[in-house]
Amino acid sequence: MFTGIIHHSGVVESIERLPAGARLALRTASPDPFTRGESLSVNGVCLTVLPEADGSLFMDVSNETLEKTTLGSLRPGHQVNVERALAIGDRLGGHIVQGHVDGVGSLLEITTQGEFAVYRWRYPEEFAELVISKGSIAVDGVSLTIVDPDSTSFRAALIPETLRRTNLGASTAGAQVNLEFDMMAKYVRNLVAPYLPPRKSPL
């Protein structure tokens, strides 16, 4: 489990394609040593860490993850958002994030407001029921609050700290991002789905 609060960034050192998947190597700004087998969120994707003595972190990425997330497009030098797994007793500053990406979205526009910014992202239409005003969403692993949603897009306000500390501050229109919708919303949708009337097919 993660919170979507990003304290450190990482830089991709390499991504090696394998017959089944890939091996990602990166280096982070975290001062604390990593334990072999611990979980790390990389741009919102939960991966298993294989640390090396020189400080490099290796992670194996399955073909499924490469196909369903943006990790397959990473290149050496790319900055990524990293978050270590939540420990019992830690503050839950964002919201509960699993690191299980639901789909890929794209940045539509950026509106700057002094040191602040408002971004609008497009998301896959099949998740419209999970996108509600003032609800939570993880964008590349960053916990954000949804504003002004419609059936295909939503906005979120980014404070200066988020713009400085995460890779979202360097995003440009068209950039793809990993999206994880709120876990509680997904459970509620599944619980009430049997009691809802069937959807009408568009004419």
Using one digit for the tens of pLDDT, what is the confidence trace for 12-21? 999 999 999 9
Neighbours of 168 (CB within 10 A): 24
User: Which pLDDT does position 113 carry in this prediction?
Assistant: 87
pLDDT 10s digits, 120-158: 999 999 999 999 999 999 999 999 999 999 999 999 999
User: Which pLDDT does position 198 carry in this prediction?
Assistant: 72
Which domains are delineated in the chain?
A: 8-84 (2.40.30.20), 103-192 (2.40.30.20)
Match 């992670």 to its residue by tokens.
59
Q: Are 167 and 80 in contact (CB under 8 A)?
A: yes
Over residues 60-72, the mean pLDDT reads 96
With a cut of 70, say whether residue 83 has pLDDT above it.
yes
Confidence of residue 201 (pLDDT cuts 50, 70, 90): low
- How far apart are alpha carbons 4 and 138 in whole angstroms? 6
Over residues 48-72, the mean pLDDT reads 95
Give the CA distances from residue 59 to residues 71, 106, 113, 160, in Å, rounded to whole numbers and listed in that order. 11, 25, 38, 30
